[in-house]
Structure 1
Amino acid sequence: MIEETVTARLERAHLLDHPTTPLLWVVLDEAVLRRKTGGPVVMAEALWHMAELIRKHRVIVQVLPFSAGGHAAMISALKLMAFTDAPSLAYIEGPEMGLLEDGPAIVARHALAYDLVGASALSPQDSLALIESVAEDYAHEDQP
């Protein structure tokens, strides 16, 4: 099961290189960068890859720094999806379930929460600088 999940995730990652990929704009909590998963080499490689995607303009990333404190989207992961030919959707993901919302008022509330979090986050340029700095820290962590 884990192997299938990893394979599927790697296949989805290639979608970011396709010229017709929709815009992906992400606000990441700084904890995502700092919580070591898989060791320093894995973290450095993952962050360098993220930086490369940002530099290729395939994604926009903003980092919500620890200094921002609590925020409107702390409870769960949120995905907002806007379409040219269909109503917008909000997908709220929890530990054991996900909820897809299509009601305009509910989607608007989630969009406002996202906007408030984004307003507290670093700019895309400052976020890229932080991502590269943290990657560099991980890359040198095992060196004497």
Structure 2
Amino acid sequence: MANGSRQAAWEFFGAELKRRREESGFTQVELGARVFVSGGYIGQFEQAIRKPQLDVARRIDETLRTDGIFERLCRKLIDDRRYADYFVKAAELETLATKICEFAPALIPGLLQTPAYARAVTLAMNPFAPEETVDEKVAGRVERGRLLKDATRPVYWAILHENVLRIPVGGPAVMAEQLERVAELARDRSVLVQVLPYAAGAYPVMTGDLRLMEFDDAPATAYTEAVYSGNLLDDPAVVQRAQSAYDLLRADALSPELSLALIQSAAEDFGRCASTT
């Protein structure tokens, strides 16, 4: 499903939710209380600003007695090939998060990727995939990135290992554009980015990516990713350990100012390399 038609479908979901809610005599606050989210979230669902999780859609059906229509719509809209099966739930949750903290040991996080960088990553992971599948996956990355431009965007903090700045994904021109993009977002204070330098040595999370997500109306979660697998963790004790690990990464990382200077320097190096090839 193309991005425009997907957004139109979510807008239909929101309009139908508003119509059914009003027919049932509920205010946004009243419906939110019945399905365990805030009234503000119901309003954002109706405006297609945020997308409900599947269990919320199911509770809406039960409360409004809508015979499963919102669950079916939700399943249809999230059932696509843009994301790996193990990442779908995390992708849903990031649209609801008020704060996202990521550690990336090898690649630019998906929310920050340019289309060219996303394409290079997708082709590396799916070398025999048909063009349509590659286009869908790249579109999914780009669509996710729009989250950081929304009026309700979450606080976003990324720690990038220095590897991320040095691995020439897609070649020098692609890397120069990608790192300039990260630097631009940092300069605009849309995101906060730090770099964990090689000099830091061993670090607490050496087995893959780590993402922490916080919410207004739900406990924090942690998401870890390795080769062809991902784990969404909601046990409070485990999430607390992940948060402690992230705090240690922050302590070893360069300051935001020094990090920005290093990112900008790497972008310029790749730019010079691209201009000579």
TM-score bucket of the superposed structures, by smaller chain: over 0.9
* Shift in Å, 1:17: 1.6
Aligned to 2:156: 24
For normalisation by structure 2, the TM-score amounts to 0.51
Return the structure number with greater strand share.
1
Once residues 84 and 16 of structure 1 are traced to their aligned partners in structure 2, the CA distance between those partners, rounded to angstroms, is: 17
Aligned to 2:94: none
Aligned to 1:91: 223
Pairing 1:117–2:258 present: no
Pairing 1:102–2:234 present: yes
Aligned to 1:79: 211
Pairing 1:2–2:155 present: no
Aligned to 1:42: 174
Can you list the C-alpha shifts for 1:56-105, whole angstroms capped at 9, x where unaligned? 11111110001101100111111101112110101111112111111111
Once residues 32 and 63 of structure 1 are traced to their aligned partners in structure 2, the CA distance between those partners, rounded to angstroms, is: 9
* Shift in Å, 1:142: 3.5
The structure that has the greater radius of gyration is 2
Q: Which amino acid aligns with 1:61?
A: V
Q: CA RMSD in A?
A: 1.0
Once residues 9 and 22 of structure 1 are traced to their aligned partners in structure 2, the CA distance between those partners, rounded to angstroms, is: 17
* Shift in Å, 1:53: 0.8
Return the structure number with greater helix share.
2
For normalisation by structure 1, the TM-score amounts to 0.96
- SS across alignment from 2:158: strand
Once residues 4 and 49 of structure 1 are traced to their aligned partners in structure 2, the CA distance between those partners, rounded to angstroms, is: 22
Can you list the C-alpha shifts for 1:5-42, whole angstroms capped at 9, x where unaligned? 00111111222122211011011100001000111110
Higher relative contact order (CA 8 A, sep 6+): 1
Specify every segment of 5 or more residues in structure 2 that has no aligned partner in the other structure, as ranges. Answer: 1-132
Aligned to 1:67: 199
Once residues 59 and 142 of structure 1 are traced to their aligned partners in structure 2, the CA distance between those partners, rounded to angstroms, is: 27
Runs of 4+ in 1 over 4 A off after TM superposition: none
Specify every segment of 5 or more residues in structure 1 that has no aligned partner in the other structure, as ranges. Answer: none
